[in-house]
Structure 1
């Protein structure tokens, strides 16, 4: 049996996604001023990113805890993760900020992790037994 076919694979993945968004969102919302200089990214941008992640984390955790997962909820989560990755790429190539080497590494690392999470969620959704739309 493939791991993506495990009955709780997608649910556990969503819980991990929600928990990680909650952690990084809280850290960015509360600590943007502390890391802005190290990352070379505006504190306001970091704080806003953190504040955006908090309600998203709540939604992901809510969706993951429902008795029956909703395909449309999971698709929305995957789409939001893809948009986050696209925004991260635009931040680096768009000239909106001048991140330090550490900032570039941070943006790339979190974008790669989010992209992997989105792909695993898509794989889990495809492998899942039929669930309501």
Structure 2
């Protein structure tokens, strides 16, 4: 059995997703103004995305606890992570915001993290597709 096919793989990836969102969202809410000054990002953007990230972290944690894992929801999360990365790229390259090097780094790191998580989520979904199908056939 590959690492990706382990029944614990997807829940662990979802816990990692929840943890990264909790850390980022909490930091953006706890230090909105200093982070805005450091990065050039608008405080309203940091606050809004911080709230979203904390709410998302709760949903990701919920998904991580489900048995069996909610494959369809995790697929949507992977697509959402890709969307977040594209949004980060648009923010860096096309928003016209006065981002400085720290701002570009803050946003780029988020893009890299969510791309890595999306890749891991897809890998886990692909690796467990046959096991999930087999379990559904056995139940029929």
> What's the TM-score, normalizing by structure 2?
0.88
> What's the TM-score, normalizing by structure 1?
0.92
Per the TM alignment, residue 56 of structure 1 is displaced from its structure 2 partner at its CA by: 0.9
> CA RMSD, aligned part only?
1.7
In structure 1, the residue matched to 2:76 is 76
Instruction: Tell me the distance in 2 between the aligned counterparts of 1:67 and 1:92.
Output: 38
Per the TM alignment, residue 43 of structure 1 is displaced from its structure 2 partner at its CA by: 1.1
Per the TM alignment, residue 95 of structure 1 is displaced from its structure 2 partner at its CA by: 2.7
In structure 2, the residue matched to 1:43 is 43
In structure 2, the residue matched to 1:57 is 57
Per the TM alignment, residue 15 of structure 1 is displaced from its structure 2 partner at its CA by: 0.8
Is residue 78–residue 122 contact of structure 1 (8 Å, CA) maintained in 2? yes
Give the number of equivalent residue pairs. 133
In structure 1, the residue matched to 2:127 is 127
In structure 1, the residue matched to 2:115 is 115
Q: Which runs of 4+ in 1 moved over 6 A?
A: none
Per-residue deviation, residues 18-45 of structure 1 (Å, max 9, x unmatched): 1111121111122111111111111111
Higher helix fraction (1 or 2): 2
Alignment partner of 1:6 is 2:2: no
